[in-house]
């Protein structure tokens, strides 16, 4: 018997997936030469509502692993499952995106098909399937997870022997110390490491240039994932109690980030000003993540149709994540020749809706085909498994445990 599952994680993953698709839909339109200033500002405002997307995927990846592997683990079986369910789909989709961008373009054949070497680069630094960088980053975490799991078990074991108030204070101290250290790392990354990369020779300059691909640059989200996994009841209580404060912090940082981007951009908006590795972006991400988690807890048992929709989206979000950039490419083939005038915001929203529907539909269909695990990281579930999950879901509101094992 596996651990009981609670839909809030699946629902949070759905929101993160929707946020990422919105980001990429906006990026397709906000840099076009004919965009009007009003649309640029509106798209920037919408963009800063979505910054929690990828870090939330990191958080969920960590919390699922720490929750499900809180005891001894077989490393061979563990890494084999991650390679099969995560890395193999990455390889398949890397080839698909490369074929779409290179082989199906006239320039590839004009060069005599000599661009095959770029495929190897795509496996290391994905550009065609631009969202696939996340897979390479999270695989680093999987490789070193046994070390993190051992530390987690050791620290958690010591915390469990403490009095409840002392244990809570100790957890807050861990969060505060790691948060301060992470904030300092982001400050150096955003303000200093660029100049360091210019001064240093290879390979150090390359490591600094592509530092956003390193799992270390997302370390704090792994830490709070471990904190959540250790005591879901406390985590839920904290998120609900912090709702007013997380909402206020999010609102303040939302205004701050929008102002920074608009002030720092020229004629064309530069969304890279609010990169994930900017300290201010880290604050808004944490505030929004806690805000959304708390709201999901408050909504459990209410708005059942909406929550069921989120659960369904979250269930097929990994496959949707893999395919969604291809859908945006296809839509762009029709929209890029058009003179959109003042309709960039409308087209961005339309692209978002079409991409969500198409990518989830493709993920759903592929998940029900033989060999689905090699393509979208999901196996076709039997009716018995579905019945078991439905039974688990009905009992979720009566327990303070969580799980979500893909």
Query: Once rounded to an integer, what is the mean pLDDT over residues 363-370?
Result: 92
Residue, of 70 and 76, whose pLDDT is higher? 76
CA distance 314 to 308: 10
Can you tell me which residue has the tokens 């939302």?
Answer: 254
CA distance 50 to 288: 9
C-alpha gyration radius of the chain: 22
Residue 213's CB: how many other CB atoms inside 10 A? 16
Angle CA(177)–CA(143)–CA(160) in degrees, nearest 5? 45
311: left (phi over 0), alpha (psi -120 to 50) or beta: alpha
pLDDT for residue 401 is more than 80? no
Query: Once rounded to an integer, what is the mean pLDDT over residues 379-391?
Result: 42
Residue, of 388 and 93, whose pLDDT is higher? 93
Confidence of residue 170 (pLDDT cuts 50, 70, 90): very high
Query: Once rounded to an integer, what is the mean pLDDT over residues 113-125?
Result: 79
pLDDT tens column, 5-29: 778 999 999 999 999 999 999 999 9
Confidence of residue 111 (pLDDT cuts 50, 70, 90): low
Residue 298 makes CB contacts below 8 A (sequence gap 6+) with 240, 243
Residue 137 makes CB contacts below 8 A (sequence gap 6+) with 213, 214, 215, 218
**pLDDT for position 267:** 79
Using omega within 30 degrees of 0 as the cis cutoff, is the peptide bond preceding 203 cis? Answer: yes
Q: Which of the residue ranges 182-196, 282-296, 378-392 would you say has the lowest mean pLDDT?
A: 378-392
Residue 159's CB: how many other CB atoms inside 10 A? 16
Mean pLDDT across the chain, nearest whole number? 87
For the entire predicted model, the pTM comes to 0.90
Confidence of residue 387 (pLDDT cuts 50, 70, 90): very low
Query: Once rounded to an integer, what is the mean pLDDT over residues 221-237?
Result: 94
**pLDDT for position 394:** 40
Confidence of residue 389 (pLDDT cuts 50, 70, 90): very low
Can you tell me which residue has the tokens 């018997």?
Answer: 1
pLDDT for residue 399 is more than 70? no
**pLDDT for position 86:** 94
Query: Once rounded to an integer, what is the mean pLDDT over residues 41-69?
Result: 94
């Amino acid at each position: 018997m596996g651990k009981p599952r609670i839909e809030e994680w699946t629902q949070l993953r759905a929101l993160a997936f929707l946020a990422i698709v919105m980001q990429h839909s906006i990026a397709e339109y906000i840099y076009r030469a004919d965009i009007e200033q009003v649309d640029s500002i509106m798209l920037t405002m919408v963009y800063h509502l979505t910054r929690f997307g990828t870090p939330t995927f990191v958080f969920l990846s960590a919390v699922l692993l720490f929750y499900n592997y809180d005891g001894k683990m077989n490393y061979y079986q563990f890494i084999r499952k991650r390679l099969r369910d995560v890395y193999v789909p990455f390889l398949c989709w890397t080839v698909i995106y490369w074929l779409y961008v290179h082989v199906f373009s006239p320039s590839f054949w004009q060069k005599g098909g000599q661009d095959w070497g770029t495929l190897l680069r795509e496996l290391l630094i994905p550009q065609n399937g631009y969202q696939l960088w996340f897979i390479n980053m999270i695989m680093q975490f999987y490789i070193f997870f046994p070390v993190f799991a051992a530390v987690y078990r050791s620290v958690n074991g010591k915390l469990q022997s403490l009095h409840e108030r002392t244990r809570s204070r100790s957890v807050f101290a861990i969060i505060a110390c790691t948060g301060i250290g992470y904030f300092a790392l982001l400050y150096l990354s955003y303000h200093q490491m660029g100049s360091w990369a210019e001064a240093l020779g290879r390979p150090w300059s390359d490591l600094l240039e592509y530092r956003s691909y390193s799992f270390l640059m997302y370390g704090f989200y792994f830490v709070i994932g471990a904190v959540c996994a250790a005591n879901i009841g406390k985590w839920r209580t904290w998120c609900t109690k912090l709702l007013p404060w997380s909402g206020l912090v999010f609102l303040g940082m939302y205004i701050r980030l929008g102002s920074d981007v608009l002030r720092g951009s020229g004629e064309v908006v530069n969304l890279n000003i609010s990169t994930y590795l900017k300290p201010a972006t880290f604050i808004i991400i944490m505030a929004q993540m806690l805000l959304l988690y708390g709201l999901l807890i408050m909504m459990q048992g209410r708005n059942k149709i909406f929550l069921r929709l989120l659960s369904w989206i979250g269930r097929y979000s990994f496959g949707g994540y893999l395919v969604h950039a291809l859908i945006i490419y296809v839509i762009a083939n029709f929209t890029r020749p058009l003179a959109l005038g003042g309709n960039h915001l409308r087209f961005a929203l339309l692209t978002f809706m079409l991409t969500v529907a198409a990518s989830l539909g493709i993920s759903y269909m592929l998940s029900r085909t033989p060999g689905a695990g090699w393509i979208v990281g999901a196996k076709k579930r039997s009716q018995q498994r579905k019945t078991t999950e439905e039974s688990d879901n009905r009992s979720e509101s009566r327990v303070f445990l969580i799980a979500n094992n893909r």
